[in-house]
A and B are shown apart, each in its own frame.
Chain A
Amino acid sequence: MAESESARPLTHPLSRPADQEEDPKEHLLLDPRPRGEMNRMVMESMHATSWKFWLVVALLAGFVIFSIIGVWGYMIAEGLGVTGVNRTENWAIFLVNTVFWIGISHAGTFVSALLRVVKAEFRRPFTRMAELMTTFGLVEAGFSIFMHLGRVWLAYWLFPYPNERTIWPDFHSPLMWDFLAINTYLLASSMYVFMPLIPDLAMARDRSTGWRKVFYRILAFGFRGSESEWTHLKTAMNIFAFAILPVMFSVHTIVAWDFAMATRPGWSSTVFGPYFVVGALHSGLAAVAIILFIISRTMKNMKYFIRKEHFDGIGKLMLMITMTWGYFFFNDYLVEWYGGESIARTVQKFLEQGPQNWIFFLMLACNFLIPILTLWNKKLRRTPGAMLTIGIIINIGMWLERYVIIPMTLTINRMPFTWRIYVPRVEIYLTLGTFSLFILMYLIMSKLIPFVPVWEVQEGQMAHSLRKFGKAEVPSKAEIE
């Protein structure tokens, strides 16, 4: 057992002034509860529902049916003429949503895999909530890209499948890379969500009856918790945590290449790859903060698992990413400005002084100014309500960032005769529809699978303990691996 580095010399006053230092019991891992009780708490959080829950589910489901089936169906039957896209802005809100949702999906894996790789202990209770964001976000991104297609019923032509015309998809096209990358990521991230879930499903299987028992028994693959099963599972999880990080970086870089490879002024920027990755992490981390807040407030027993320290940890990451995002934005903007190509300057002038310049400046305020002025403050980081607000602001900002990059930048092209300002129409319903579907999937999943990886929390609590040195209680950590 290694002693914690925070052990103080004995000359330190043994009684701790209450206002100077936090109580170590505030940390989840130093506030252990018996295994049985914790299992019961998690099971309870899945079972406990009220009419309010079902009301929200019904409302969301109603809206999802209206928008995804009703409005999208109308759009497929009528053609894309019912949206606001036109000759000049061929790509608009559907692509904004696609990039936004892929961005959201990235942080889930990033938070989980990166924190697992660097063994950050505060990750333990919320890795799964973040990972689910990846899977659901990719589903939304898929919906959005299909909505964008002119002939969605032929979307399967993008698959390299053998066919009677002997035509394969064109692998020169960035869209093709995108299609393959997103599919790879969906597959890898689904497996990455599922593997740490197996021990919890086995736990749930042993504690439920009826259809749930059957459901969990099938999904738990007969996991019994033997030594060899744990060894294999942990090895697999370790490999995946390392392997999925480069996959994640590559996927969003490829999404950025859809734009960077084009011959559009304002798009052909070599910094777009990393800029988009950082943007994705920016919105995704903010979404993790939102989700942690909502889950800890609405689900039973979750306040025990989700604590101030978790908002604090996420907040620090958000601050770092805010600064990185600011750096990349500056880098992208300055180089383009300095380059001085007349058409690129025209785009920048349109963004800053055009009729929609409020979107550009609101985006900058939401993405950089507000987070950087608030997140340095520990008190704010440890206030869940404040983190929710900042999270929502950042996500609005990141959505607007994609709006600036796609329809607003597309307004200006090399043929001034065709310049035109985009006005969204039915896209608004479909955007709200994808957001509703995202929340709805979370709600339904919260009743089906344990949202807290119980075994991970228990493992952490076993490793952490408060040891007594004289009268002082000192947090200490044992190395497990």
Chain B
Amino acid sequence: MPEDPSNETVQPGKWGMVIDQDLCMGCQACVTACTIENNVAFVGEDDAGYGRWMHWIRIERFWEGTYPTVRTTGFQPMLCQQCGHAPCEPVCPVYASVHSQSEQTNLQIYNRCVGTRYCANNCPYQVRSFNWRDYTRPATFNNMFNPDVTVRKRGVMEKCTFCLQRIRRGEDLAHSENRPVRDGEVVPACAQACPTNAIVFGHIDDPTTEVSRLAEEARNRNYKMLDELGTYPRITYLKGGPSHG
């Protein structure tokens, strides 16, 4: 396995997440919040049904066993894992998919993307969404756009940014007040909307933060998604029981 490249240099902060599947109840509030926060396009029923939904976060659910002994597994919120060693980055021929050194996230540069879709192909988590068309909204909805986030056009790839605009705002504020970013100061839209606090966000390289504490405490039920691929995901999942009793 290759070394986690972000260990090589001194980082101002490595952002990460803990998702407790035992707390997730599959309400999809995170999906809605993320869509509104990040100006994610509404693709409509037909395209969504054909597998072109563009949500940056999705709630996966599965069944186990055969009838009549069917049981559901825990809900699994799935979003960009912001890999330390991301398969999507080296395959882009035009540097549209790059690694951020300061936030330790994977960035997608929309206006650099030419739409080869190699990154989406190479993402083992299948979390990248492509703008298949120019999806329009009713004019009244235009007031709903978040001015901090670019509106993407057809032909470019996009994905979860860990709400980069919120990270930036938090960092700028802390910088102007001449202090480090406080734990819990930066909350991405999904974590903010979660009614059971199943999603916790923070610095994972600082052992005192909530996110590090949760990952450490639940040592017997924490895991990283597809860890065997050597992608160094920044999200720790905590295993949960079945979702329906």
Contact = CB atoms under 8 A, between A and B. Distances in A.
Main secondary structure of the interface of B (DSSP, over half): loop
A150 B117 contact: yes
A148 B120 CA distance: 14
A262 interface: yes
Interface stretch (A412-420, A460-468, A470-478): A412-420
Interface in B146-183: 154-157
A415 B78 contact: yes
Contacts of A429: none
Contacts of A249: none
B58 interface: yes
B133 interface: yes
A10 interface: no
A263 interface: yes
B130 A150 contact: yes
Interface stretch (A60-68, A174-182, A273-281): A174-182
Contacts of B94: 157-158, 167, 169-170
Contacts of A81: 47, 52, 132-133, 154
Interface residues of B, number: 42
B156 A173 contact: no
Contacts of A152: 114-115
Contacts of A175: 91-93, 116, 118
Contacts, number: 135
Nearest to B124: A414
A426 interface: no
B90 A172 contact: yes
A417 B78 contact: yes
A78 B120 contact: no
Given A87-B52, A149-B116, A176-B93, A418 B126 contact: yes
Contacts of B52: 81, 86-87
A78 B136 CA distance: 12
B132 to A, nearest CB: 4
A79 B114 contact: no
Interface in B102-160: 112-118, 120-122, 124-126, 129-134, 154-157
B60 A151 contact: no
B240 interface: no
A262 B51 contact: no
Of B47, B62, B117, most buried by chain A (CB within 10 Å of CB) is B117
Interface in A258-292: 258, 261-264
Given A91-B117, A151-B155, A415-B60, A179 B47 contact: no
* Most B C-beta atoms less than 10 A away, residue of A150, A155, A158: A150
Contact of A264 (B121, B125, B226): B121
A429 B22 CA distance: 50
B121 A410 contact: yes
Nearest to B60: A417
Contacts of A262: 87, 91, 118, 121-122
Contact of B51 (A151, A414, A418): A418
B53 interface: yes
B90 A170 contact: yes
A90 B114 contact: no
A149 B130 CA distance: 12
B125 A415 contact: yes
Given A80-B115, A149-B155, A417-B78, 4 more contacts: A90-B117, A90-B120, A175-B91, A414-B125
